[in-house]
Structure formats: structure tokens, C-alpha cells
Amino acid sequence: MKRRGDLAARWSLAPYSVWALLFILVPLVFVAYYAFTDTDMHFTFDNIRKFFTATSTVTGDNGETLQVRTYMVIFWRSVKLAVISTVVCLLMGYPIAYIIARATPKVQKTVITLIMIPMWMNFLIRTYAWMTILQDTGILNNFLASLHLGRMHIIGTESAVVIGMVYDYLPYMILPIYSIMAKLDLKLLEAAHDLGCNGISTLRRVVFPLSLPGVVSGVTMVLIPSISTFYISQKLGNGKFFLIGDAIEGQYVANNLHFAAAIAFILMVILLIAMALMKRYTDKSVAGGV
Amino acid sequence: MKMKPASKIYTAFIFLFLFAPIVILLIFSFNASKSLSVFSDPSLKWYRELFRDEETLRALQNTLVLAVTASILSTIMGTAAAVGIHRLRKKYLKAAYDTVTNIPMMNPDIITGISLMLMFVFVGRLFGLSTSLSFWTMLIAHITFCLPYVILQVLPKLQQMDPALPEAAMDLGCTPVRAFFRAEVPEILPGIITGLMMAFTLSLDDFVISYFTQGNGFQTLPIRIYNMTKKTVTPKMYALATIIFFVILALLLLTNLVDEDDSRRMKEARAQKRAARGKPPRRADSNKRSLAIVGAILGLTIVIIAAIGITRPKPVELNVYNWGEYISDGSEDTLDTIQAFEQWYLEEYGYPVKVNYETYASNEDMYAKLKSGAVSYDLVIPSDYMIARMAAEDMLVPLNYGNIPNYQYISDSFRGLYYDPDNLYTVPYTYGVIGVIYDANQVDEEDLGSWDLMWNEKYAGSILQFNNSRDAFGTAMYRAGADVNTTDHAVWDAALEALAQQHPLVKSYVMDEIYNMMESGEAAIAAYYAGDYFTMIDAESDNVDLQFYYPEPTNFFVDAMCIPKGCQHQELAEIFINYMLSEEPAVANAEYIYYASPNRLVYENEDYIDEMGEETMEILYRFTDDFSDLFNRYAYRNLDQETLTYINDLWETLKIS
């Protein structure tokens, strides 16, 4: 009996194994292959070297000329904006996940569905709508002006890009945290209360550690897409600065496939290392839970 | 537990944030004008137009077909995989599968997209296929990025399940397969359903991976929207978004009505009662409900697909690849020239033809797709310098002008231009000149007349610059009197310096965003293509007074129809070209696009002249007579790859300052 079960299990895994090999692993080999070849498909380090050494002359804040490494600047700006967006998502998303998880099941279901609805409407269109809101003569500024609060210059700044990313990826933060919190045993909270914890220390010492797996997957699901986006920065950043996604897309459109692959390859390696480190630092049980 | 007031306020704040842009879309979908920043009059016209717009409906259908197929297939394969992974005994194998499953989630979309594209293109070349990307490559890509989400939803449910359950079922005489479906599936169904929904949602909204893996004959909604970036995103899309929103909302309300009592306590009470009576606990309730929702959504989707699908498929297909919003498509009571062609062809030749009309955002996008061998089209409409490049790289087919008698109406000014000196490959479609658009309410008269306006510090923060490198560098080089086609790096360096100097004055680097920004008075100065100025005037806000002039020298461009190598229906494409040159469709296209036409049937047509008005005709056609001289002197030429790469690097430099 048992043997037959195992056999079935092995067969059930077969299609996925083939698929994963062909369409997950092999394509990554192609990224590496293109990253280390030139247009004649000869082996070269030039693409990788260009990423780390290409320099640009820019004008600094005080009018002085500076030599900077082009892709390092682009890369660090992407990392910075992605980290800020992730932190903002966490700060905004965590409380709402907590609130939802403690509501009645019916309210829970409704609120979660409402949070998911925006994801069903095309994100390019939604980002487009944010331009209307954040423009200097846009809805937000007209509203502030009508309250005599003055105007804010947001569009075209890094803040506008962060707003766009937070908006697009917030549901990815809320949902995994919520799904972990919804499973938390209420008795634990009561026990903590009985043992003298007030609301905040219950949150800090009981709820937060238990919800950590959700936080980790939420952070991953926000950080990864926001580090590589190229549409949001084009639209809400007024095209004033490049992120790493813009650089890859730009090289692809400029027909420099090999350099595009090189940037992608480096980004991939860095992210895989970062994720491996993150995984090591958090609980093992995290791996399975989204 | 009841929500506290503070919680309620916070929840309201989050919802305000999440729904603000959706409310904007909803409001502006009822706007009579095209603008997304100036509301003129309420109107339902974009909804009417949406249902008449066959291409958008087809894109919607494609999006849904892809999402349904990808989510179902990935759910089946993913569930099977989860079961298999769960039963693995060896630790290292489990860890290996864990890692592989996590890769598509840990990799940014852009890497997944590029990696699959590189592989498909490579394999396509290996087998000498004319097109390596298609519906199937897109489906593979979508299944690939959906799979991990399904697996990671199902796996935890399997781990929570009592391992004795399937064994018990088998002991009771079930075959392993039967035991799986009867005992295990009900246990893990919530995970399967969530996985399915996640896959569906992700596939529906994906843009990046689709962008890199889309082939011809199959364009999805996000890609269609992205390709509208040279012209403006049509409000039909807001109407579509609004409809989608209400359909989902209705579904949600419906399922909530069906299911009245759902509180956990009641369920527990019921379960206790059942237990007291010695009956097994019932878990089918919530499963049934979730299944009903999923069934309703899938059912509705299939109905929509079928409803749109009635118009397809037809035998001969002509694949046309053009700029977004670059043909008269029947909106706002114009002539749908593609549909008109299909009708005309049926009457003329007695059998039907189907035009697959797809769009791109830029010359470079189109070139990248064609060059990689990923797609094949029968007709493309690139600009001059790109035509020169494609001709030089042997990517174009010489036309048989015998099939295009209407070519006689093309004015002599547009023959023998540098990109096609012997008139072998091209039939001009539109032409234009770059000019400066300004808001007379914000800009003083004495500052007008030259390119210097775009560098005038008085207007810091109100200037728009092109967000494509060639045109942006062009403004700086025309201003300096430099040759825009030089291979001399020093000249390009000087242009970069000028652009860097301009950077602090620039409000935004734009393509389609220019419309909203100029119409609303958000910006005061921009260089753009002459015809688009008139589109902006139509939607300008009351306190804005847009005006226009040509600086000297400036850019002249021609977009021409050509047939790329690898086309499937050359003769049909030529018949299509000829049809587009005939009076009615040519006038309709010229009126829709607002660019100048090289076709005498258009610019000598009385109705067209009336419709455009004197001022418009003067601006659009000012250079018709000496066009070929000006064009051959000032137009962009094809640059070698080394120079292009150099410009691209400079462009990146500008974008990091």
C-alpha cells in the first residue's frame, strides 16, 4: 500500500520537476550566458566590468563637478527607495492586518476582499491616476490650497515614487501578515493579559514574534518588486531619475541585450544572497508560510 | 470583537489611500474630454466607445483567456507538486524543491521576464522559427510565475493535515487516487482556492513579464495601455477599469448576501452539536461557499470571453504593428479604418480577412521585438531613421508598387528621402515637425521664438523635456546648431552638458504625460510633435492658453509603412497600404492622428481643410513644399550601434544627476 502511495507521489511531482527545470532553472542559465558574452556570443567580462566601473560626471549640490559610478548610483537609489517603501508598507500594513485579524469573520472577509479589489484593476492605470492626484495643480494640492494649507511639491520627487510603490504593493504586505495573525490563538493574548502584560507589551512580546513569518513574507513580497519596478519611476518620478529597472529596460530597448542581462544577473545574485542571509536570520518555519 | 473607534479611523484612512485613485478613474471615465486632469462635461461616451473598440475588447479577452488558463493549469500542477513535495522523505530533496519554488518569488519580475525571453528567443533561433514568441510563450511565463504561489498555499494545508487520514481511507478500501480525492482534497481545498485566486489575480495584473514574453497575435490589456505612451491613454481604459470595479463589487455583495450567518461562534456551536450527536464535524460549508465564489468568477470570465469571442476567428490574417493610438479606430464617431478595410476587402475579393492590429510604444521597442526574431508582422510603421536602420540590416522587403496604385497621390516632396532614396521599401503615412508649445498665460512674449525658451531660468520648474534620448539630445543640439547625426563624442558630450544644465529647470521628462500637464497648466513650456499641440488645445483648461511656434532649426520626421522580412502575406499587406492611401480612410486617419499627411487626397480634400481650420492647416503644412530639403538636412539619421550605446550611457548619466 505504502509503496503505491509513494509511487503516486513521485508521479505527481514529475510535471512540476520538468517544468521547474525547463522554465525556472534553465532561463537563469541564459541570463548568465548572455551576461558573460558579447554580441558575437564570445565570452567576455566587459558587461560585468561596465556595471561596476562606468563613471559619469555630474554636478553636485554646490555646483562642483563630481565623478560617480553610474550604475552604483542607480543601484543604491533603487535599494534606498525599495527599503523606504517596504518600511512604510510595514508600518502602514501591520496595524491594519492586526485590526482585521481581530474583527468578526464576516468583517474580515469583506475587508480583505476590499483590499484585494484594487489589485484587479490594471496597475498602469492606477499609477496613472496617482499622477492626477499628486501633480502641482492636482487634486491633493487643490484640496490643500482650498484649506489654505499651501501647496506641496510631490510629483517628480523620490517621495512620489515611494507613494506609488507603497500604493501598489501594500496589499502584498497586509495579506501575509493578516493570514498569520488570523490563526493566532486568542487564548495566548488572554494569557498574556492575565500575566500582567498591557496592550503594547502583549503586542511586542507575544503578537509580534508570532507574526514574524508573515512579516518576513510580506517584506519579501514588497521589497522584490519595488527594487525592480520601471513604470512607477517613469510616471511618478517625472522621468527625472533612473532606477535599476529603468536601466535594464532602457538597455533592452536600446538593443544591448547582453548588458541588460548583465545588470539582471548582478541584481539577481545580490538579491539571492540577501534573501539567503535573511532566511538564515529568521526562523526556519518561515520558509513555508505566505 | 468590535472595532475600536481608533481602529475604525485607521481602517478608513487605509481605504481612502487604496481607493483614491480608483475614485479618480471613476470620475474621469465620465469626462467628455480626453483629459485626466481637467473635467469638462459629464458624458457616457467613453463607455459607448469602449464597447465599439474591438481591439481593446480583444485585449481584454486575451487577458482573461490567459489569466484563466494560466491560473487553472498552475493550480493543477502546483497542487500535484505540493502533494509530491509533502510526501518526500529525504530532507535534502525537500530543501532543493523549496529553493527552486522560491526562485520565481525571490527574483524580480523583470529578471523572470528577461530570462524567459532570452531562452525562448535562443530556442527559436536554434530551430529557425520565424517567430519565437507567441501566446504559448506568454502562457508558459504566466504559469511559471504563478506556480510558487499555488504551492506555497497548498503545502501548509498538507502539513496541518492529519497524516493518518489518507492511510485510513486506504485501509477502508480506497485506491490511493480515490483516497486523495475523497480524504485529502477537502482538507486542503481552502489552500487550493486561495492559490487559484492568487494566480488569477497575479496573471491578470502582470505587465513586466508579459512585456518581455509577448508574441504577435496576442496582446494583453496592460501592454496595450503601456503602448499608448506616445499619444495619450484613452479614457476608454478608465471606463473599463470602472466596469471591472463594479463587477467585482457586485460579486462580493452577492456572495455576502447568499451567506447570512458565518460567525465563527455559530459554526463552533453547530460543530459541537454535531459532535454531541456523534456525527463527524462538517467542514464542507465554508468550502462550498469559497467554491461558489470561485465558480462564479470563473463562469463570468468565460461568459465574457465567449461574448467577445463571437467575432473571431477569420481565415486570412494580416498582422499590423503600429504606434499606440496611431490609426482612426472609430472612437468619437470617426471611421474605424481597419473595420472598413475588412468590409471593403470582403466585398471586393469575396472572402474575409482579419487584421490583427497591435501596437508598440517606440521605434526602439518595435525594433527590439523584430530584431530578436521574437515576432513577425506583415506591416510596420517606423520613423525615418529606424527605416534606414532596418533597410541597412536587410530587415525590409522591397514593395511591389504595382499593388499600390494610390502611391501616385503621395506628394513629390516625400519621395526619394534619404531613408529610402530609390523608393524601394516605403510608403509615407504621416509626417511632422517638432515645435515648442507654451502657455501664453505663463510665458512672456519676448522670450519666445527659439530653443532658448526651454533653457530660460525664468521658467524653472515649468519646462517639460522629452523622455526619449534622441529627441531630448536633439533639442540641445538644434539649439547649439550642432549636427544631430554626428558620431563625434565631443558633440554629444556638449549636448549632455546642456541637458544637465537644463535638468534643474525641468519639471518632468515626458511622453504621453505631456497632455495632462500642458492641458491643466501644470507646466508651461514643452517641445513636442506639431499635431499633438492641437489635441492639447481641444482639452485645455479655462485658465490655460496654449500657443505654438517652430524654433529653427528643428526636427522633421516621416513615419512610413513598410513590410518587414518574414512577413506572411506580402500582397495582402500591399493591398492594405493601398487602401489606407485611398481618400476616405486616409482623411479619417489624418483627422484622428492630427499629424500632417503626405497624401494629396488628404490635404487637398475640402472637408478635411474645413475640419482642420485655417490656423491648423497653416501650422501643419507650413513646410510641405520644401520638405525634402529641410528633411534631408535636419532629420535624424541612423547611427551606428557604438554611438547609440554611447548616447544611451550619456542618457543614464543625465538621469542620475
Mutate to test the interface with B, among A11, A17, A24 (most CBs of B within 10 A): A24
Mutate to test the interface with A, among B249, B263, B508, B517 (most CBs of A within 10 A): B508
Q: According to the model, what pLDDT value does residue A290 have?
A: 36
Q: Which residue of B has its CA nearest to A228?
A: B108
Please determine, for residue B162, whether its predicted confidence score (pLDDT) is greater than 70: yes
Alpha helix positions (H), B277-359: 284-309, 337-349
Cα B133 from Cα B510, distance rounded (Å): 30
Cα B250 from Cα B396, distance rounded (Å): 51
Domains of chain B, by residue range, sit at 48-260+280-307
Residue B605 backbone phi and psi in degrees, to 5: -75, 125
Please determine, for residue B311, whether its predicted confidence score (pLDDT) is greater than 50: no
Cross-chain Cβ contact A58/B657 below 8 Å: yes
Please determine, for residue A152, whether its predicted confidence score (pLDDT) is greater than 60: yes
Can you read off the three cell numbers belonging to residue B36?
485626466
The ipTM, to two decimals, is 0.87
* Furthest CA-CA distance within chain A: 79
B506-510 and B463-466 beta bridge pairing? parallel
Dihedral of the CA atoms A289, B4, B10, B11 (nearest 10)? 60
Band the pLDDT of B271: cuts 50, 70, 90.
low
Q: Which of residues 111-150 of A touch B (CB under 8 A)?
A: 111, 113-133, 135-139
- Let me know if residue A12 belongs to a domain: no
Cα radius of gyration rounded to whole Å, chain B: 29
Please determine, for residue A203, whether its predicted confidence score (pLDDT) is greater than 80: no
* Residues in contact with B314: Cβ distance below 8 Å, sequence separation at least 6, in sequence order: B352, B353, B354
Cα B246 from Cα B67, distance rounded (Å): 19
Q: Nearest by CB to B225, which of A125, A239, A288? A: A125
* Residues in contact with A198: Cβ distance below 8 Å, sequence separation at least 6, in sequence order: none
Rounded average pLDDT over B136-158: 90
A285 phi-psi bin (left φ>0, alpha ψ -120 to 50, beta other): alpha
Q: Which residue of B has its CA nearest to A110?
A: B252
* Residues in contact with A32: Cβ distance below 8 Å, sequence separation at least 6, in sequence order: A265
Three-state helix/strand/coil letters over B270-289: HHHHHHHCCCCCCCHHHHHH
Can you read off the three cell numbers belonging to residue B403?
499593388
Please give the residue that has the higher pLDDT: either B255 or B654: B654
- Let me know if residue A1 belongs to a domain: no
For B622, what's the count of Cα atoms within 13 Å in the CB-facing half-sphere?
A: 15
Cross-chain Cβ contact A220/B105 below 8 Å: yes
Q: Which residues constitute the domain of residue A195? A: 71-288
- Let me know if residue A201 belongs to a domain: yes
Mean of pLDDT over chain A: 84
In chain A, what residues touch B641 (CB-CB under 8 Å)? 255
Q: How far is CA B602 from CA B26, B336, B348, B438, B584, in A?
A: 38, 17, 23, 28, 9
Cross-chain Cβ contact B233/A5 below 8 Å: no
Consecutive H or E run containing B558 = strand B556-561
For B329, what's the count of Cα atoms within 13 Å in the CB-facing half-sphere?
A: 23
In chain A, what residues touch B17 (CB-CB under 8 Å)? 92, 167, 170
Separation of CA A25 from chain center: 22
Mutate to test the interface with B, among A49, A172, A253 (most CBs of B within 10 A): A253
Rounded average pLDDT over B75-102: 88
Band the pLDDT of A6: cuts 50, 70, 90.
low
Q: Are B196 and B76 in contact (CB under 8 A)?
A: no
CATH number at residue A78: 1.10.3720.10
Looking at mean pLDDT, say which of A281-290, B70-79, B353-362 comes out highest: B70-79
Q: Nearest by CB to A24, which of B144, B170, B256? A: B144
Can you read off the three cell numbers belonging to residue B565?
522580412
Q: In percent, how much of chain B has pLDDT > 90?
A: 42
Minimum distance, in Å, between the CA of residue B392 and any CA atom of chain A: 16
Report yes or no: A60 at the B interface, CB cutoff 8 Å: no
Cross-chain Cβ contact A135/B517 below 8 Å: yes
Which residue has cell 542581462?
Answer: A261
Please determine, for residue B134, whether its predicted confidence score (pLDDT) is greater than 50: yes
Mutate to test the interface with B, among A4, A22, A47, A56 (most CBs of B within 10 A): A56
* Residues in contact with B496: Cβ distance below 8 Å, sequence separation at least 6, in sequence order: B473, B476, B650, B653, B654
In chain A, what residues touch B522 (CB-CB under 8 Å)? 135-138
* Residues in contact with A284: Cβ distance below 8 Å, sequence separation at least 6, in sequence order: none
Q: Are A184 and A208 in contact (CB under 8 A)?
A: no
* Residues in contact with A181: Cβ distance below 8 Å, sequence separation at least 6, in sequence order: A97, A98, A100, A101, A207, A211, A214
Band the pLDDT of B313: cuts 50, 70, 90.
very low
Cross-chain Cβ contact A136/B80 below 8 Å: no
Q: Are A70 and A55 in contact (CB under 8 A)?
A: yes
In chain A, what residues touch B115 (CB-CB under 8 Å)? 27-28, 30-31, 264
How many structural domains does chain A have?
Answer: 1
Minimum distance, in Å, between the CA of residue A154 and any CA atom of chain B: 11
Cross-chain Cβ contact A275/B226 below 8 Å: no
Q: According to the model, what pLDDT value does residue A1 have?
A: 43
Out of B158-162, B292-296, B466-470, least confident range: B292-296
Report yes or no: A270 at the B interface, CB cutoff 8 Å: no
Q: According to the model, what pLDDT value does residue B358 have?
A: 85
Mean of pLDDT over chain B: 86
Can you read off the three cell numbers belonging to residue A49?
566590468
Out of B91-100, B176-185, B271-280, B318-327, least confident range: B271-280
Out of A8-22, B17-31, B62-76, B294-308, least confident range: B294-308
Q: What is the pLDDT of residues B216-263, one digit of tens each?
A: 778 888 888 888 766 677 888 889 888 888 887 777 667 666 554 444
CATH code that applies to domain B48-260+280-307: 1.10.3720.10
Minimum distance, in Å, between the CA of residue B647 and any CA atom of chain A: 10
Which residues on adjacent β-strands are paired with residue B510? B466
Cross-chain Cβ contact B225/A124 below 8 Å: yes
Looking at mean pLDDT, say which of A74-83, B195-204, B564-573 comes out highest: A74-83
Q: How many CB atoms lie within 10 A of CB B445?
A: 8
Q: Which of residues 10-49 of A touch B (CB under 8 A)?
A: 10-16, 19-20, 23-28, 30-31, 33-34
Rounded average pLDDT over B386-415: 93
In chain A, what residues touch B467 (CB-CB under 8 Å)? 234, 239
Report yes or no: A53 at the B interface, CB cutoff 8 Å: no
Classify residue B187 as exposed, middle or buried by CB count within 10 Å of its CB (0-12, 13-18, 19+).
middle
Q: According to the model, what pLDDT value does residue B89 have?
A: 81
Under 8 Å CB pairs connecting chains A and B tally to 328
Rounded average pLDDT over B323-347: 87
Q: Are B293 and B253 in contact (CB under 8 A)?
A: no
Cα B638 from Cα B388, distance rounded (Å): 6
B461 phi-psi bin (left φ>0, alpha ψ -120 to 50, beta other): left
Cross-chain Cβ contact B14/A267 below 8 Å: no
In chain A, what residues touch B80 (CB-CB under 8 Å)? 12-13, 15-16
Dihedral of the CA atoms B518, B523, B527, B528 (nearest 10)? -20
Please give the residue that has the higher pLDDT: either B562 or A216: B562
Cross-chain Cβ contact A240/B166 below 8 Å: no
Closest CA to A176 of A282, A288, A268, A284: A288
Can you read off the three cell numbers belonging to residue A234?
517613469
* Residues in contact with B124: Cβ distance below 8 Å, sequence separation at least 6, in sequence order: B131, B132, B133, B373, B374
